[in-house]
A and B are shown apart, each in its own frame.
Chain A
Amino acid sequence: MKLYCLSGHPTLPCNVLKFKSTTVMLDCGLDMTSTLNFLPLPLVQSPRLSNLPGWSLKDGNAFLDKELKECSGHVFVDSVPEFCLPETELIDLSTVDVILISNYHCMMALPYITEHTGFTGTVYATEPTVQIGRLLMEELVNFIERVPKAQSASLWKNKDIQRLLPSPLKDAVEVSTWRRCYTMQEVNSALSKIQLVGYSQKIELFGAVQVTPLSSGYALGSSNWIIQSHYEKVSYVSGSSLLTTHPQPMDQASLKNSDVLILTGLTQIPTANPDGMVGEFCSNLALTVRNGGNVLVPCYPSGVIYDLLECLYQYIDSAGLSSIPFYFISPVANSSLEFSQIFAEWLCHNKQTKVYLPEPPFPHAELIQTNKLKHYPSIHGDFSNDFRQPCVVFTGHPSLRFGDVVHFMELWGKSSLNTVIFTEPDFSYLEALAPYQPLAMKCIYCPIDTRLNFIQVSKLLKEVQPLHVVCPEQYTQPPPAQSHRMNLMIDCQPPAMSYRRAEVLALPFKRRYEKIEIMPELADSLVPMEIKPGVSLATVSAVLHTKDNKHVLQPPPRPAQPTGGKKRKRASDDIPDCKVLKPLLSGSIPVDQFVQTLEKSTHRPPVPFLLEQHGFSDIKVEDTAKGHIVLLQEAETLIQIEEDSTHIICDNDEMLRVRLRDLVLKFLQKF
């Protein structure tokens, strides 16, 4: 069993598991932090961005000045943003049989995999994952395609040139594999390969393994996966949450008794408690708006935004913000708000029950009805007519490199009355803000990450007790910035195995058993014999038939009736040899008794002509790691008694060997 690690990002994993005869890809997350190296794509012509000076080498050489621009001491690539794909060289991705998706954030690289690697398998995901994943991809494609950029920079990627660049460009990894965003056509094609599944549904893969999605509690439709055969169980935990937010709670019980638990997608901000952050978010929002400032919340169009809107729904009246407009701007804003209301079966119990009242499960419906929350596909069109300040705007993209957020950053960045509040934990807010410097607006960092923290992980592991834990290397040591926080790492026994990008792990367990079915008529013919209470044995002669990874014991075909010359011969060739078998032995040899028997002089050997033989008087017994050795010194004979074998080593005296063998057999059961 092997694990191929194609992504180094702990929360955007992409791993391939080879298990039995199947090749299973676990998630295909897309690392978008690469876009932070690019200049933002403004929706409206931005004189500031277009007038940034080109960057030149220390010696004044300015051959890169078209590709690289400088802003407040940082250098950015002036080109269409590109993403860092999962490894494609480590394993032939056309051999992947299935892809299991755990949540909508972890499928963003799907079109790259399914459309460009020869992949012919099936993708499994829950319905909300697919629908919301589609929205995220649609938004991404839309954000990038609606601001076409003629220029595509590639000079800087040359290894010799990259070395000369300032950080962080200099240190960017695998830049040659960075790719531009996929197209909507590719998205559609990729999504058409997905087969929808429900929680706890058992899906057979070629009869060899069974995969099952379990609720992970993190997002609408988010899942952990169980991949199991009859005797082995691998759990894949990715992006789970134990907090009570909108999705169905996490199913922990089904993760029990795993041989291996692959653990990814823990919180990216282990030191911040989501409740505290929501409080911080609300307080800062209220303070800004009261002062007449605007609040900008860069966010994804689905996920935490539902919880934030719910909090605000309860909070705005108490904070006297009822008259402040909330705008949600995204090409998929409408679909996202509406989709959330129809996935009742994927919601937490509380929200499910509302559906029967009937009430919309999320209160943002009421915010929309009362005109407190308005949503628009983009800043163009209706929005510009309705726009009223001060206001609160939720819009993407959280990287601040594309999407409507770029416009608001340019618009509001100059006033210290305004505030940008970062709630998504995926991007470093300081890096996100770099191309907007100098910036007068206030910046508040309230990352809300509801995924498991290390305390919850340690409780979870105690509860489900996997034999082995496998996780990204980042989780096996405290974060570099807080190296003293020994509690910010996974602490389990045996220690977790860690992986990094482009590494292949041999998972530490051996398959020992395989399930074989016995046909009823064959089973009928068996005559079990009880060898000890509760354990019966029977010998069986049969034909093992293997197809689609299923093994069946069938009765051996009867010897064919002689019907004709040639045919008969052929038939008899097929029949396995059904020799009369020697009886099978079972039981253990009690060494003391065995030795006593050897010593007894009155012992009558079973072979008549050895009647006069005396007992052995010079017996020595040695204990070994596996059993015992009985040494008959005079006869130069060794009897090795081990758990599953007994050897009589007696070079010259076949008679003696046979006698000893029969003695040994006396202590064993035969059938």
Chain B
Amino acid sequence: MDPECSRLLPALCAVLADPRQPVADDTCLEKLLDWFTTVTEAGSSLLLLQENPCLVELLFRVLKSQDLSSRILSFSLRLAGIFAAQEDCFQYLQQGELLPMLFGEVGPLGGAAWTAPAVRSGWIQGLRTLAQHPSALRFLAACGAVDTIFSLQGDSSLFVASAAGQLLVHILDLAMRGPAEGRCSPQACDWPACAQKIVCHIEDSLCSIATPQVTQALNVLTTVFGHCHGLWTQGLWVRLSPLVARLLEKDPVPASHSLVDLLLSVARSSVPSSDRGLWETLAQTLSHLSPTQAGPLALGILKLQDCPQALRTQAFGVLLQPLACVLEAAAQAPGPPGLLGGAAGDPMTVDVLLCSKSACVGLLCCALTHLGLLQPLPQRPSPWPQAPLLGAAVTVLRLCSGSVAPTSDVGGRLCAILVGCGRVQRAALDFLGALSQGAGPQESVMQVFSVLLEYLMSPESSSMVLKKAFQATLRWLLSSPKTPGCCDLDPRTQLFLRELLPVLQKRLCSPCWEVRDSGLEFLTQMTRHWGGQAGFRQALLASEVPELTKQLLQDPESYVRASAVTATGQLSSWGLLAAPASPERPGAQQKSLLVELLHVLCADSEGFPRRAVMQVFTEWLRDGHADVAEDPERFVARVLQAASRDQDWEVRAQGLELALVFLGRLLGPRGSHCPCAVALPEAAPPGTLAQALPEAAPPGTLAQALQVLCRVQLFEFAFRALFDCDRPVAQKSCDLLLFLRAKAAPCGSPQEAGDSPNVASVEATLQRWQAGEQGQPLGYLEPGAVMAVLRSIDLEGLRDTLAESSDHVEKSPRSLLQDMLAAVGVLGENEADCY
């Protein structure tokens, strides 16, 4: 321990033990405990206590004091636990009878302080930390702690109750780890007394008629099988499984949620390898639980890596049940039985669906979500009933929109329940989107597109439903098969596009900004993937969508403006923003977009659109957008100038990203070492930035590249960012300059400018910037001066400093102790750091 901390400790202990001194706050105590944990992990606790007797004294004083706050009592219990975790220190504290006084019946356990949940929680946590060695087990047995923990399982505070359960698991594990390790005998006589006691308690609880007790037992067991990996767990299961199975005989099954958790936890543990009976229990449980309760279990079973096929089939059937019922109810004529993999509409599921709106919506949403989660998994059931599932999703959506007229009574009632239900609509659209990963029969796919179009068109679709509908549509569009031998879109998709674009057009005019926003996002994604497809280009250019998108750059809602920026950026990248420019004025239309986006960057009052502009510009520069390629230097200079003044740190950070891309194009990508070797014009793709480098600069020389960088004032931008008050910006700038220096170093400096007068003034300015005075500009920099400055700044050191969290100075234990003392006025003057 730091000597300074040792010096402060007695005073702090005195403060803590003094009921008249209010302690700053709980976080200080937590930090203190963290620190003691670190100290004891690094060295001997015994030594610590011997060197700092004030600590033991604190514990004694806490015990004696009558009116101490529950926080300090709780803290002391946890502190004692930390010390006693080491066996020698445990013995040391035992000699003083301190531990029984803290944790035994004479301690807070019997007193008034016990009513505070914090004290009960501290007691449990103290014991949890303490219970690390056989002596601790004996201690627990001797002081009767286990019985107290049993009672705390039903504590009114959920935190205490849950911690009590976990402590039981920990003790059981500890007890079984020693002598019983390696045995899996279910015979209780072999087990340590402590473990026996706990297991008997669990057995009693499982047989109890009170559901809360059953739940406690099941939760403890769930933790056991989830966290303990000893062979003994197999024995435990053999012993307890009959009791668990007996729960299934009750109607209704008590604590079904916890039971499901336990069974899945056991199934994931090493038990199944030894006990095949588990699968039977799971199968029984699936058939006993109500459809709503069985859903999560079925999903869990299907996610298991290794499980009998019959059980998987049964579990899949459970998940499919609700959808099978819907399909059956909505069928115009009785279809073939077992439409969904043998799962016919089960009367029990139908009852749940029809009993109330909430039950129906809950069950359907769960079924749809579970199946959606299962779809992408490699272990999903095979064969996967893609076509009936598509049919079911479409039917659910149609029931929700009221566009299907079921003839059956059940169908009619379902329709009445589901019509207009946004929750089911969203779940079904998500599910439909997930199904796009698999193909389907032509007819089903047609239905999918038609129901999606219906939703996109319907004025009844809420903005959230529309968003989901757009997402699902995108997934289906992107997964639609390519026509063999032709790289363009297939005719069906083109037909759909022709219907979709007018809808999108209308949605872009919606008075609801969320709708405009999701419309733009959809357009961006679609263009990103299909910008090069002739069919798409043709349909899009024939519509008014590009024009509308551009108008939305003036939207009153900043999110929409941001999305419009991204969308127009994407459209422009593919030359889709306007009708092809006339031969006399190539790119005239495009240029105006650049100006418009620059205007957004300089003038928009909100951060989102400006960030979006920076992203678009970075992308344009990276991809060699024609408009940028015309004069990249001017482009970069203007963008950096605007970004450097921006209030939003993300815009400045994105500015550095753009600068990095620019550097990459000039000097070769990061990682390749000698920029001199990069033959710029040859390396770059035709028609992109590299070609546009100033002609005066002969290719291959760093000097010219540096000249360019100086001209676009990239260094001024980067140096300013280096001292940015937002750490991510400074870090990024540091990385950029390090990259630049690494690139330049092997080539030597074009001109040794160490003693150039310019360097001194630059360094002086930088120092002022570092001090927070960023008013003065650097002015035009010579490449030589830049390199000299770069070499003179300790970039590595700066990077390391920036890598530390911002409170690294203040986080030291000494600072913590000083703060706590200062808060109660023990230190003469307030030397504490403010943070």
Chain A residues with CB under 8 A of B505: 287
Nearest Cβ distance between residue A215 and chain B, in whole angstroms?
27
- How far is the CB of B461 from the nearest CB of chain A, in Å? 7
Q: Size range of the interface on B?
A: 20 to 34
C-alpha spacing A356/B515, complex, angstroms: 36
A273 within 8 A of B: yes
Residues of A contacting B415 in the complex (Cβ-Cβ under 8 angstroms): 484-487
Complex CA distance for A276 and B459, rounded to whole angstroms: 5
Contact of B419 among A272, A483, A487 (CB under 8 A): A487
Given contacts A279-B515, A484-B405, A486-B416, A284 and B551 within 8 Å (CB-CB): no
Q: Is the CB of B402 within 8 A of A485?
A: yes
Known A282-B511, A484-B405; judge A276-B461 contact (CB<8 A). yes
**1/0 per position for B404-437, CB-CB distance to A under 8 A?**
0111000111011101100000000000000000
- Among the listed B411, B458, B506, B554, which residue makes an inter-chain contact with A287, where contact means beta carbons less than 8 Å apart? B506
Could you tell me if A446 and B406 are in contact, using CB atoms closer than 8 angstroms?
no
The residues of A that contact B513 with a CB separation of less than 8 Å are 318
| Nearest Cβ on chain A to B532's Cβ, whole angstroms | 28
Q: Please, which residues of chain A bring their CB within 8 A of the CB of B510?
A: 279, 282-283
State in angstroms the CA–CA spacing of A314 and B506 once bound together. Answer: 18
A320: interface (CB < 8 Å) = yes
Known: A272-B459, A276-B459. A319 touches B406 (CB 8 A): no
Whether B412 and A279, one on each chain, are in contact in the complex, defined by CB atoms closer than 8 angstroms, is: no
Contact B419 A286 (CB under 8 A): no
B468-510 contacts to A (CB < 8 Å): 505-507, 509-510
Is the beta-carbon distance between A290 and B544 smaller than 8 angstroms?
A: yes
Q: Are A272 and B460 in contact (CB under 8 A)?
A: yes
Chain B residues with CB under 8 Å of A521's CB are none
Task: Assess the B512–A279 pair: CB atoms within 8 A.
Answer: yes
When the two chains form their complex, are residues A284 and B460 in contact, meaning their CB atoms are under 8 A apart?
no
Q: Given contacts A276-B460, A446-B459, is CB(A284)–CB(B416) below 8 Å?
A: no
List residues of chain B with CB within 8 A of the CB of A284. Answer: 506, 509
Report which of A273, A314, A320, A483 forms a contact with B554, defined as CB distance below 8 A.
Answer: A320
Question: How far does the Cβ of A584 sit from chain B's closest Cβ, in whole Å?
Answer: 54
A278 at the interface (CB under 8 A from B): yes
Contact B416 A485 (CB under 8 A): yes
CA of A550 to CA of B554 in the docked complex: distance in angstroms? 71
Most buried by A among B405, B459, B510, B556: B459
Instruction: Report the contact-size class of chain A (Cβ under 8 Å from the partner).
Output: 20 to 34
- Please tell me if A277 contacts chain B, counting CB pairs below 8 Å: yes
Known: A272-B459, A290-B548, A318-B555. A279 touches B511 (CB 8 A): yes
Please report the C-alpha to C-alpha distance between residue A280 and residue B506 in the assembled complex, in whole angstroms.
Answer: 8
Chain A interface main SS type? helix
Q: Are B406 and A484 neighbours in the complex by a CB distance under 8 Å?
A: yes
**What's the least CB distance linking A272 to chain B, in Å?**
7
- The B-contacting residues of A in range 269-323, CB under 8 angstroms, are 271-273, 276-280, 282-284, 286-287, 290-291, 311, 314-315, 317-320
Interface string of A76-89 (1 = CB under 8 A from B): 00000000000000
Q: Are B506 and A487 in contact (CB under 8 A)?
A: no
Distance to closest chain B CB from A390 (angstroms): 15
Nearest Cβ distance between residue B36 and chain A, in whole angstroms?
59
Residues from chain A with a CB closer than 8 A to the CB of B507 are 283
Q: For the complex, is A536 an interface residue (Cβ under 8 Å from B)?
A: no
Residue in contact with A311 in the complex, picked from B509, B511, B557, CB distance below 8 Å? B511
Nearest CB of chain A from residue B436's CB, rounded to whole Å: 27
> Are B460 and A314 neighbours in the complex by a CB distance under 8 Å?
no
Q: How far is the CB of A234 from chain B (nearest CB, A)?
A: 30
A546 within 8 A of B: no
Contact B506 A283 (CB under 8 A): yes
A92 to B295, CA, bound (A): 67
Give A190 to B416 CA distance when docked, in angstroms. Answer: 45
The answer to whether B511 and A484 touch across the interface, beta carbons within 8 angstroms, is no
CA distance A311 to B511 in the complex (A): 8
CB–CB A320/B551 < 8 A: yes
- Cβ of A482 under 8 Å from chain B: yes
Query: Given the complex, which residues of A lie within 8 Å of B402, measured CB to CB?
Result: 271, 482, 485
Q: Using Cβ atoms and an 8 Å threshold, which residues of chain B touch A280?
A: 459
Q: Is the interface of B mostly helix, strand, loop or mixed?
A: loop
Binary interface encoding of chain B residues 204-217 relative to chain A, with 1 for a CB under 8 A from any of its CBs, else 0: 00000000000000
CB-defined contacts of A317 to chain B, threshold 8 Å: 556
**Closest residue to B419 on the A side, CB-wise?**
A487
Chain A nearest CB, measured from B579 CB (Å): 16
Cβ-defined contact, B459 with A486, below 8 A? no
Taking CB atoms, residues of chain B closer than 8 Å to A315 are 511
Give the interface centre of B411, B416, B458, B556 by most chain A CB atoms within 10 Å: B416
Distance between Cα atoms of A370 and B412 in the complex (Å)? 52
Residue ID in chain B nearest A318 by CB atoms? B556
Interface residues of B in 664-688 (CB under 8 A from A): none
Taking CB atoms and an 8 Å cut-off, the chain A residues in 222-242 that contact chain B are none
Is the pair A314, B511 in contact by a Cβ cutoff of 8 Å?
yes
Distance to closest chain A CB from B123 (angstroms): 50
Q: With a CB–CB cut-off of 8 A, which chain B residues contact A320?
A: 551, 554
Q: Give min CB distance, B258 to chain A, whole Å.
A: 36
Q: Which residue of A lies closest to B502 (CB)?
A: A287
Alpha-carbon gap, A421 to B461, bound state (A): 20
Give the nearest-CB partner of B420 in chain A: A273
Give B544-601 interface residues, CB cut-off 8 Å to A.
544, 548, 551, 554-557
Q: Which residues of A contact B556 (CB under 8 A)?
A: 317-318
Q: Which of B417, B510, B513 has the largest count of A CB atoms less than 10 A from its CB?
A: B510
A457 to chain B, nearest CB (A): 14
Q: Cα distance A273–B402 when bound, in Å?
A: 13
| Complex CA–CA separation, A320 to B516 (angstroms) | 14
**B511 A278 Cβ-Cβ under 8 A:** yes
| C-alpha gap A372/B461 in the complex (Å) | 31
- B735 to nearest A CB, angstroms? 41
Query: Is there contact, CB below 8 Å, between B419 and A485?
Result: yes
Closest-by-CB residue of A relative to B555 is: A318
Chain A residues with CB under 8 Å of B413's CB are 486
Chain B residues positioned under 8 Å from A311 (CB to CB)? 511
Q: How far is the CB of A513 from chain B (nearest CB, A)?
A: 40
Contacting residues, chain A, for B544 (C-beta < 8 A): 287, 290-291
Q: Which residue of A lies closest to B404 (CB)?
A: A484
State the CA gap A304–B509 with chains docked (Å). Answer: 21
Closest CB-CB distance, A138 to chain B, in whole Å? 33
How far is the CB of B774 from the nearest CB of chain A, in Å?
A: 37
A276–B466 alpha-carbon span in the complex (Å):
12
Q: 1/0 per residue B269-294: CB within 8 Å of A?
A: 00000000000000000000000000
Question: What distance in Å separates the Cβ of B596 from its nearest Cβ neighbour in chain A?
Answer: 14
| Per-residue contact bits, chain B 388-412, to A (CB 8 Å; 1 contact, 0 not) | 0000000000000010011100011
Interface string of B734-764 (1 = CB under 8 A from A): 0000000000000000000000000000000
A319 to B416, CA, bound (A): 37
What 1/0 mask marks residues of chain B from 174 to 213 whose CB sits below 8 Å from any chain A CB? 0000000000000000000000000000000000000000
Once bound together, how far apart are the Cα atoms of A284 and B509, in whole Å?
8
How far, in whole Å, are A485 and B512 apart by their CA atoms in the complex?
29
Residues of A within 8 A of B417 (CB): 487
Indicate which residue in B405, B458, B459, B557 contacts A318 across the interface (CB closer than 8 Å). Answer: B557
A318: chain B residues within 8 A (beta carbon): 511, 513, 555-557
CA distance A264 to B669 in the complex (A): 75
State A311–B411 Cα separation when bound (angstroms): 38
How distant is A537 from chain B, measured CB to nearest CB, in Å? 50
B499 to chain A, nearest CB (A): 15
Contact flags (1/0) for B25-63 with A, using CB distance below 8 Å? Answer: 000000000000000000000000000000000000000
7 contacts between A and B (CB under 8 A): A271-B402, A272-B459, A279-B515, A287-B509, A318-B513, A483-B405, A485-B402
In the complex, the 9 A-B pairs of residues with the closest C-beta atoms, listed nearest first: A276-B459, A487-B416, A280-B459, A286-B509, A283-B509, A484-B405, A282-B511, A283-B506, A486-B416
Known A-B contacts: A290-B509, A290-B544. Give 18 more (CB < 8 A).
A272-B460, A276-B458, A276-B461, A279-B510, A279-B512, A280-B459, A282-B509, A283-B506, A283-B509, A287-B505, A291-B544, A318-B555, A484-B405, A484-B412, A484-B415, A485-B416, A486-B415, A486-B416
